[in-house]
A and B are shown apart, each in its own frame.
Chain A
Amino acid sequence: MGFDQLLFYVFAAVAVLGSLLVIGQTSPIYSVLALIVAFFGLSGLYVLLEAPFVAVVQIIIYAGAIMVLFLFTVMLLNVPREGASDWDRGHPHVRVWPVRIGTVLGVVMAVQLIWALSRTVGLGAGVADQRPAASEVSELGRVLFTDYMFAFEVTSILIIVAMVGAVVLARKREN
């Protein structure tokens, strides 16, 4: 087994185990921290795929910005463990069967995806067989500001809508 393969399996294990920890335990703050670990695993995979800029952005934007937003919210609301608060215990709609059925459906989905991919021809070709695209930031910027110019500008509208929406929604109402 080559060094690259070993790294792939290590990073894949980190990503999968981190994601399983996110959904496998009930404390929201541990979920957020586990997801940050999973993002570091994914970032390593992006390095293996020769996309270093995506790897850096994954850490800075996802682990650095978005997850900190989640952490702030968890701490601001002082979110307790699932099932530990009054509203969880006393709620009349706590149901067990949807959770069990959902778990089964998730497993079925995973098996189905793996089965379909294992029967697809042409996936055995190594990702590193092709010559890599120039992965310098300058090349990324050139493509982003020429071929994807329109999508890039629309993104700015999306961000301002999200920003105004978040401010309006989270504002305290005076009445």
Chain B
Amino acid sequence: MPLGHYLVLSGLLFAIGATGVFVRRNIITLLLSVEIMLNAVNLAFVAFGRQFGTVDGQIITFFVMTVAAAEAAVGLALVIGLFRHRESLNPEAFTSLKW
């Protein structure tokens, strides 16, 4: 397979994730969209690593996964905290900095 095919797929997934952040009105789905974007980048890393014949692409992928896990843990804790305060998951409900 040409490298370009993998990069087009990666770009497509990234655009889908970015669109999800715009379109959905639910914080949990927004976090899922961020995960899609991170995975798109992972695919590009692994494809380039295969193209250049090194393992560096795979190593970076592990770091991205670690960051994604940390982001998901903190993000979901924030979601739970916000839900306790506002009884809502709509991002439009969280427009004030202090309450």
What is A's interface to B at a CB cutoff of 8 Å?
A: 4-5, 8, 12, 15-16, 19-20, 22-23, 26, 28, 31-32, 35, 38-39, 42, 45-46, 48-51, 53-54, 57-58, 61-62, 65-66, 69-70, 73-74, 76-77, 79, 82-83, 85, 87-88, 91, 93-95, 98-99, 101-103, 105-107, 109-110, 113-114, 117-118, 120, 123-128, 130-135, 139-140, 143-144, 147-148, 151, 155, 158-159, 161-163, 165-170
Q: Which residues of B in the span 19-52 have a Cβ within 8 Å of any Cβ on A? A: 19-26, 28-29, 31-33, 35-36, 39, 42-43, 46-47, 49-52
Is A143 a contact partner of B92 (Cβ separation < 8 A)?
A: no
**What A residues does B5 contact at CB under 8 A?**
8, 12
Residue of A nearest to B48 (CB): A127
Is A128 a contact partner of B1 (Cβ separation < 8 A)?
A: yes
| Main secondary structure on A side of the interface with B | helix
Distance A163 CA – B25 CA, assembled complex (angstroms): 27
**What B residues does A22 contact at CB under 8 A?**
16, 20, 29, 32-33, 36
Is A163 a contact partner of B53 (Cβ separation < 8 A)?
A: no
The 8 closest A-B pairs by CB, nearest first: A102-B22, A106-B19, A23-B20, A162-B70, A123-B4, A113-B11, A110-B15, A169-B77
**What B residues does A28 contact at CB under 8 A?**
26, 28-29
Beyond A117-B11, A159-B66, 4 additional contacts (C-beta under 8 Å) are: A45-B6, A73-B28, A110-B12, A135-B58
Residue of A nearest to B21 (CB): A102
Is B76 a contact partner of A70 (Cβ separation < 8 A)?
A: yes
CB within 8 A of A61: which of B22, B36, B65, B77?
Answer: B65
**What B residues does A88 contact at CB under 8 A?**
25, 90
Is B2 a contact partner of A123 (Cβ separation < 8 A)?
A: yes
Is B32 a contact partner of A70 (Cβ separation < 8 A)?
A: yes
Is B14 a contact partner of A113 (Cβ separation < 8 A)?
A: yes
Is A158 a contact partner of B28 (Cβ separation < 8 A)?
A: no
CB within 8 A of A123: which of B7, B68, B78?
Answer: B7
Is A144 a contact partner of B15 (Cβ separation < 8 A)?
A: no
**What B residues does A62 contact at CB under 8 A?**
35, 39, 65, 68
